[in-house]
Structure 1
Amino acid sequence: MANPAYFPPPHSARIGTSDVEQLESQTRSLRSVDYQHGGGACRDAVVVRIYWAQQLLAAEASDPVRSRLLSAVADLHNLAGWTSFDSGQVGAAYHHFDRALDFARHDEDLTTNIVYRRGRVHLHHGAPGDALAYFQRGAFAPLASSIMYANEAWAYARQARSDEAVRALGKAKDSFASADLAHAPDWARFHDETDLTAMTGIVHTELGDTRAAVPALTSAVEGFGPAMARSRTFCLIALATCHFLDGDVDEGQTVGAQAMSAAEGLRSERVWDRTRPMIQAAAAHGVSLR
């Protein structure tokens, strides 16, 4: 694979489809690094790429190529925002998400994805009400709707609104059942059956319903491969927390140790933030996971 930090400038004042395809391919490669190693492993490379994307924007292009380029640049900023968020750089995340929305005005599906990711920043930083305002902005394609409903459920769970959380989770599953996964855009491909199972486990963990959470989280841990190492780590963290809440200290300690080991292999501030409830639940039983 070519160095993802490098993207050659256009060879002429006019660009074609192949130039945009190269940008899309490199963004896709960097997104896979984010999933597997954390935002800190690729954020700088993503931001550097924006410089080259600006050169493409300055070149001449046909209308179809220009439209596709705008979506590609929007998704590059989308990834820059996400990796900034994962790296603990909230101000930079908001900046790039705003730029992504500017470039994606013509692209309804991508706009929905950017809005969802911005909502996740609010959710992570303790503002589920603000997050809901983003998750409820509406989605049209079934896969996008499933993502939004699943995160809406999570936000409701954070507010201890159990009935609404379960209802939104049901809508997420219904939308997913009618989604065309074979033609999912790159930025939405993470939301597969395993991801939806993981979200189910996370929502029930937030609600304190460990009976429903543990089987879902266990299934998700088994389903996530090395390419989705960060998502698997999130599930290990939640699963260990559930075991401690259930008083299953031995299993909690075993899974908690796995979670901490997995977290150490990632460059993700967000992962360490998510370990705090697990560490607190362990400490309540006299167990130290540090």
Structure 2
Amino acid sequence: MTNSYVDGLRRRTARLRRLDEILGGGDTYRVYLGEYQATKSLLRDATFTPSSRRKLVALLAEQAQQAGWAAFDGGRQADAESLYDGSKTAALEAEDSDLHGNALAFLAYQTPDPQMAVEIAASSCEALSAGSPSGVRALLHERLAWACAVAGQASRTERALNAAQAELEERPAGEPQPDWAAWVDETELNIMTGRCWTELRRPLRAVPVLIRALDQYEDHHARDKALYLSWLADSYLAAGEVEEAAAVTGRALNLASGVASVRPRQRLAPVLRELHQYRNVGAVQNVLQAAGA
């Protein structure tokens, strides 16, 4: 098997990744898992040069992360963790420090212990090499920021967000990025920034940056926009803006309807529970009825 053949497989993986922009993990998991399993079969049955084998093992790590993400999004937590572990093993075999770091960042998301999640996310940043592209660096720093926010570490959250911002601002013009990190940009960082400040109960910081980022999102990115609106609703509630929280929650519920992802409803559930104490407010009554329906 040649390097050019493996490059063709990588381009196919990149095309299939675009499905995640409009579909939930419940729809894409079997597709991504099938690609991962097909690559495992190739590694078992085909003949390679050392270079082409290493490239295919790196692709296996990438595909495991994509399948793991779909599993996570579709509510298959055990499958996601297994795939992320497999990705980490493959990335180490391929000597791909960027994919190794990303596998660790995904595992941090899966870890229920907040302090342990911070340690794993910090290790993901330590895995970066001198040649790691700026987009990958920004991605891992912002995922560290999220882990720190969940753990209640405000100062460390801000440092990680600043590090991600610096990577994006200093990105060399035309620097190539791996497809799995090509979507990392200023809007994505604003979303993560708003999520972090929401988690840390700092609505005055969270609301403006979330509004700015959400203005860049089209409704056809239904799952992601519903998720991000859930953090905006959460911050409005923390600020005592009940009617605004209800309106945003209603928009999120509409977008999440019919999307094969468990995460929007999971994120909106605590918002709806908190809104219930304001059920005598007309806007809240409407959104609670919509949620019940």
TMscore range, shorter length: 0.7 to 0.9
The answer to whether 1:73 aligns with 2:65 is no
Structure 2 residue identity aligned to 1:75: E
Structure 2 residue identity aligned to 1:195: E
Give CA-to-partner distance per residue, 1:244-272, whole Å, 9 cap, x none. Answer: 22222222222111111111242111222
Q: How far is 1:177 from its partner?
A: 2.0
Task: Indicate the residue corresponding to 1:250 in structure 2.
Answer: 243
Query: Map of 1:92-171 to 2, 5 A cutoff?
Result: 92-105=79-92, 106-122=95-111, 126-137=112-123, 138=126, 139-140=128-129, 141=132, 142-171=134-163
Give CA-to-partner distance per residue, 1:14-37, whole Å, 9 cap, x none. Answer: x22343233223322332212321
The alpha-carbon distance between structure 1 residues 183 and 229, as it changes in their structure 2 partners (threshold 3 A), is: farther
The alpha-carbon distance between structure 1 residues 260 and 226, as it changes in their structure 2 partners (threshold 3 A), is: closer
Query: Map of 1:1-290 to 2, 5 A cutoff?
Result: 15-57=1-43, 58-105=45-92, 106-122=95-111, 126-137=112-123, 138=126, 139-140=128-129, 141=132, 142-180=134-172, 182-225=175-218, 228-286=221-279, 287=284, 288=288, 290=291
TM-score (structure 2 length as normaliser): 0.86
Aligned residues: 273
Give, in whole Å, the separation in 2 of the partners of 1:259 and 1:242: 14
User: Which secondary structure state, in structure 2, belongs to the residue aligned with residue 42 of structure 1?
Assistant: helix
Give CA-to-partner distance per residue, 1:56-75, whole Å, 9 cap, x none. Answer: 21211222222211111111
Q: How far is 1:211 from its partner?
A: 1.1
Give, in whole Å, the separation in 1 of the partners of 2:175 and 2:258: 31
Give, in whole Å, the separation in 2 of the partners of 1:37 and 1:101: 25
Give the percent of matched residue pairs that are identical in Structure 1 and Structure 2. 27
Alignment gaps of 5+ in structure 1: 1-14
Structure 1 residue identity aligned to 2:110: V
Alignment gaps of 5+ in structure 2: none
The alpha-carbon distance between structure 1 residues 158 and 193, as it changes in their structure 2 partners (threshold 3 A), is: same
Give, in whole Å, the separation in 2 of the partners of 1:116 and 1:134: 7
User: Which secondary structure state, in structure 1, belongs to the residue aligned with residue 22 of structure 2?
Assistant: helix
**Alignment RMSD:** 2.0
Give, in whole Å, the separation in 2 of the partners of 1:130 and 1:273: 23
Give, in whole Å, the separation in 2 of the partners of 1:51 and 1:199: 32
Structure 1 residue identity aligned to 2:170: S
